[in-house]
Structure formats: C-alpha cells, structure tokens
Structure 1
Amino acid sequence: MEITKGFYDLNVPYQTNENELIAILNELYDVGYRTIAIDETFDHTKCNRKASDIFPAPSDLTSLREKFQNKLKILSRLSIVFSQNVILHDMNTSSNIKKYNLICGIPVTEAAMQYACSTLPGDIIGMVHNDATKVFLISHKHYLMAARRGIYFEIQYAPAIRNSNQRKDLIVVAQNIVSHRKAKTIVITGGALNPFQVRSPYDVANLGLIFGLSEEQSKSAISNVCRTIVLKAEGRRYGKTVIFAKNTQESSGDEEENDSESGEEEEEEESNSDDSMDDLGSMDEGHPPKKQKFS
C-alpha cells in the first residue's frame, strides 16, 4: 500500500523536459506539498482501435522518485478524455491501465458525463480546460450517483491563472459542484505547467472561498480527501482482501491459565504419590496397610 502524507497535489502534468518538471516539483515541495501525482493525458476519441492495448504504459518516473526520495511521494495518474461508452470495455481489457495509481475520466459531452457518474470505473472525474470545449453543468441526480460510487470531482486552479475565459468557466463549474452540498467529494488540484503557476496550500484554501467552500473544506480538499482517494484507488487496483487479527495478550493469558491448571494437576499427582509412598513405608515397618472399603 502506498504510504502518503499531505498536503497533496494530484495533478502535475507530465512534461518531456525533465528539468522543467523538476523545477515544478521543487516549487511544490518548497510551498508545503508532500504527495503529488504526475498526470498523463490520453485522448480516447483519437486512439487506435486496432492496438491490442490502446492505453499507454506509465512513463518511467524512477529518476524523479530517486531525486525526491526523502521529499515527495510521487504517484502516477492517467486522465482519459472520452465521449463513448465503449471506453468501459477498453479499460477492462487493458493491462497498462492497472499500472497507474490514479485514474481520471474527463467526459467531453453531457452523455459521457452521465456515463462517468453512473458506470465509469475510476477515481476522479475532471474536465477539459480549453476554449473549444463547451462547459456543461452536472445535474444533482448524476452527482449523487457518482458520490454513492465513491467518485470524486476535480477542480483545477492553474487554468484559471493562465486564461481569463477559463477562469470564468472554472468558477461556474466549481460553484455548480459545490451547490450539491457534498463538499467531501471535491478535490482541488493544481495542473501547473511552470513553477509560477504553483500556489501554496493556504492560498488554495483561500481560493476555495470563491468556489463556495469554507476554509476547512478547502484544506480537506487538498489533504484528507486526497488521502481517501489514494486509499480507494489502491483497493480498486488490488481488489478485496481479508485480514485476520489476533490478540496476543489474551492468548498469553490463556497459556498462563493452562500452565497453572497443569501445575495444580502435577501437585495433586505428587500428593497422591506421597500417600502411596506412606502406605509402602507402613508395610516396611511391619504394620498392615489400611483396609479399603469397596462398594
């Protein structure tokens, strides 16, 4: 099981230039984050259907994990942009998708959003941040369906820093999610493309006030909620397990009782043997043994 600690940023976009990625990770560590997830985006709408496994394997993060070994816990995440229900079959038959720590579904249509809330296996539901994609709101019915399944909704703050139009869309979508009164199913992530877009956890907590969250709920969205997501993701990856617990103190107490009982039995046997030795001694002295009555 992955051992993590807060604060969390579960969306750090992967970059081929490792130096730029290292600069972002250093900034995240300096401002107070301790667990991050390197995100890779896969567009399912443009994939090659003839491939045996359409999902790519996770990028090699060994060098990053070694560099930040005592600083950051680095997880892997896959964000899947999709619009059709056939994605469920592709996910169930893929072996590469099981290698990621976190799975995020990003629907691009209202029908895909309904499918993501009701059926899509994963951990997080996100949204596309570009001017070409239409922003749509989530109904209360589908939101509750996702909440019952343990699916969390993601709010990214970095796109609001990069573009004013995306800032407006982000506020509208965030307030729509918060309006359903289920703040425990909301996670706030970064999505920063450079160190200048990184914000400290306490700045993010203040930013949550714009979305309609309280300061406590905003802090939970980058700490406790993220830890719950990681734990549930581990259960999804490895399946159900059974754990047997045994109290060693009680067992030691039972052993002591058994030892005391056996000791009493030995004492009784010794006393009986002493009586028999007394009878034998009386016979040696010339005295007849005591007569025993038999019923």
Structure 2
Amino acid sequence: MAVFMDLNVLFSAESSSMRSLIQTAAHLGFSTVAINYVFEPTAKKKQEIPTPTPINDLMTCLCLRQGRSRPIRVLNRLTVVMSDSSHFRPNAAEYRHFDLLAVQPTTEKLFHAACMLYDVDIICISVTEKLPFFFKRAPVNGAVERGVVFEVSYSAALRDSTRRRYTIANAVSLMESCKGKNVILSSAAEKPLELRGPYDITNLALLFGLSDGDAKEAVSSTCRSVVLHGETRKSAGGIISTMKTCSEASSQQGAPPAKRAKPHPTP
C-alpha cells in the first residue's frame, strides 16, 4: 500500500483554516503533510525568519486520521525565496526549527548553487511566471546525486489559465532535464478546495511528462525520501566518534607482549 504525502500546504495565521486544510488532506488519503512557511527576504528592510507554530497547539482538540486508519503526520517546512545569494544562510540556527528546508532560486546562478552547494531538501520550481533560465543537466544531475529533489506545485494551475500555462511549461522543461527522477508534486494549497487526491495528482502529472510509475513516486516514495533526507540533514552535526583514552593507550603500551606458544616438533 502506497503512503501518500503532500509536503507543501501553505501556512495561515488562522488556526481554523489550517485545521480545515489538514483535515481535508487527511480525508483525501494523505498520511503526511508539511506546513510551508514562505520566507522572501527583501533589501529594503531586515526580516525575521518565521517561527513555526507548535504542532501540538495546532492539532489541539482535533483528531485527524488518514482515511479511516492511521493519524496524519504534520511537519514544518521553510521555503526561502532567493533573489540574492545572501538570502540563504547555511548556518542559521533558525533553520533547525523546521523539519524540511527548501529554496526557490529566481536566477540561473542561484539555481546552479542550490543544486550543487546548498544543504537543502527541496528545490522549488516557480510556476506562476515564465522562468528566466533553462534547466541544464549538469546542475540537475548534481542535485540528484546529492539526494535533493525538485518540487512542482499544482494549485496555481487551478486558479487561472495563465498560471496553468506557466505551470505546464515549466514542469515539462524540468522533466526533460531530470527524466522524471527526484521530483515531487505538491499542492501549495491555501484553502481546502485547492487540494486534490493522490490519484488525481498522478493523472495531472502525465501532463507534465511523467510516466505512470514516476507520477506515483512523486507523491509517495520520493516524498518519503525527502522526509528521511531532512532527518539526516538535521542530525548530520551529531556524528559520534570513538577514540582510546590516554590511560587505555598507556596501559596497552606498558603491557608485555603476549608469548607465542612454541610448536611441538613432529616425530
């Protein structure tokens, strides 16, 4: 049985609106959703990275289940919209408050850096406008080798025909470069009516150039890999190493060498 995930549900300050979104996702059959906090720095004034709402506070008095089985899992995600390299701070302590970390580069240079250098889980592809650059296979393959995935969201395509055209064009361009690998499809929904079920999303993915198998993986196994990548990224600084202490080393050096048993002569 496939485990479906939607790793991009836009954050709303209204708790009732967030609960309604998560509840709808649960009824549609998603086992995991990620609440997305979009951070777009500007040069005019200094902005603070948002602090995620505690999941326990959000889910108070509301028992949400995936269909009729397991409780739904809710994650926190941060997406940094980058128009300058200074907008992404690799060592920012605030990033560790989020389960998933994504960037949305707006130039070819930043896209190349996100694919090859930045320690992130997701690279978002803009679907609301025509991209000012083409996807080159070298950086795309570099991101795939590092375990970073590309995200295409579909809710903008439901709002008007212009955004629908941009969504399909940008998605098809991406699929031609990555061959459908390391791609996830998410909603970026602002309200429950913009959510679609997993099998509706896989049908929509065929318009983007994905095969049946890749379309199903884009809402299931690849999403699971993203979650595991995020857990690994957060714990990467906690590597444990072992070494001998001075007392152990000196005791071993001072100990006499073990005597070998002399072989008995054969008759």
Q: TM-score range by the shorter chain?
A: 0.7 to 0.9
Aligned positions of 1:243-282 closer than 5 A: none
2:16 counterpart residue number: 19
Shift of 1:181: 4.5
SS of 1:138 mapped into structure 2: coil
Shift of 1:22: 1.5
Shift of 1:219: 1.1
Aligned pair 1:190/2:170, yes or no? Answer: no
The one-letter amino acid paired with 1:100 is: F
Superposed CA offset, 1:195-246 (max 9, x none): 1111100001111111111222111111100001100110100116569xxx
Pick the aligned partner of 1:224 from 221, 240, 260.
221
Aligned pair 1:91/2:90, yes or no? Answer: yes
The verdict on how the C-alpha distance between 1:26 and 1:119 changes in structure 2, with shifts beyond 3 A counting, is same
Superposed CA offset, 1:106-154 (max 9, x none): 01122211211121220000034445x7453311122112112211100
Name the CA distance, whole Å, in 2 between partners of 1:95 and 1:167: 37
Task: Tell whether the 8 Å contact from 2:23 to 2:64 is kept in structure 1 after alignment.
Answer: no
The verdict on how the C-alpha distance between 1:6 and 1:242 changes in structure 2, with shifts beyond 3 A counting, is farther
Name the CA distance, whole Å, in 2 between partners of 1:140 and 1:36: 30
Shift of 1:68: 4.0
Task: Tell whether the 8 Å contact from 1:80 to 1:104 is kept in structure 2 after alignment.
Answer: yes
SS of 2:30 mapped into structure 1: coil
Aligned pair 1:139/2:133, yes or no? Answer: no
2:248 counterpart residue number: none
Percent of aligned pairs with the same residue?
28
Name the CA distance, whole Å, in 2 between partners of 1:185 and 1:102: 16
Q: CA RMSD in A?
A: 2.2
The alignment covers a number of residue pairs equal to 233
The one-letter amino acid paired with 2:55 is: L
Name the CA distance, whole Å, in 2 between partners of 1:61 and 1:220: 27
Name the CA distance, whole Å, in 1 between partners of 2:41 and 2:84: 9
Aligned positions of 1:1-295 closer than 5 A: 6-46=3-43, 48-49=45-46, 54-66=48-60, 67-68=62-63, 71-88=71-88, 90-92=89-91, 94-131=92-129, 134-239=131-236, 241=239
What is the TM-score of this pair, normalised by structure 2?
Answer: 0.80
Name the CA distance, whole Å, in 2 between partners of 1:241 and 1:206: 42
Name the CA distance, whole Å, in 2 between partners of 1:46 and 1:194: 30
Task: Tell whether the 8 Å contact from 1:42 to 1:78 is kept in structure 2 after alignment.
Answer: yes
What is the TM-score of this pair, normalised by structure 1?
Answer: 0.73
The verdict on how the C-alpha distance between 1:176 and 1:95 changes in structure 2, with shifts beyond 3 A counting, is same
SS of 1:25 mapped into structure 2: helix
Name the CA distance, whole Å, in 2 between partners of 1:111 and 1:181: 18
Which has the higher mean CA deviation after the structures are superposed, 233-242 or 76-85?
A: 233-242
1:277 counterpart residue number: none
The one-letter amino acid paired with 1:39 is: N
Name the CA distance, whole Å, in 2 between partners of 1:74 and 1:32: 14
The verdict on how the C-alpha distance between 1:47 and 1:194 changes in structure 2, with shifts beyond 3 A counting, is same
Superposed CA offset, 1:29-86 (max 9, x none): 111111000000001234855x8xx423222332234434652100000000112222
The one-letter amino acid paired with 1:63 is: D
Task: Tell whether the 8 Å contact from 1:158 to 1:197 is kept in structure 2 after alignment.
Answer: yes
The verdict on how the C-alpha distance between 1:47 and 1:188 changes in structure 2, with shifts beyond 3 A counting, is farther
The one-letter amino acid paired with 1:91 is: P
Which has the larger Rg?
A: 1
Task: Tell whether the 8 Å contact from 1:14 to 1:39 is kept in structure 2 after alignment.
Answer: yes
Shift of 1:157: 0.8
2:259 counterpart residue number: none
SS of 2:189 mapped into structure 1: coil
List structure 1 runs of 4+ shifted beyond 4 angstroms. 46-49, 240-243
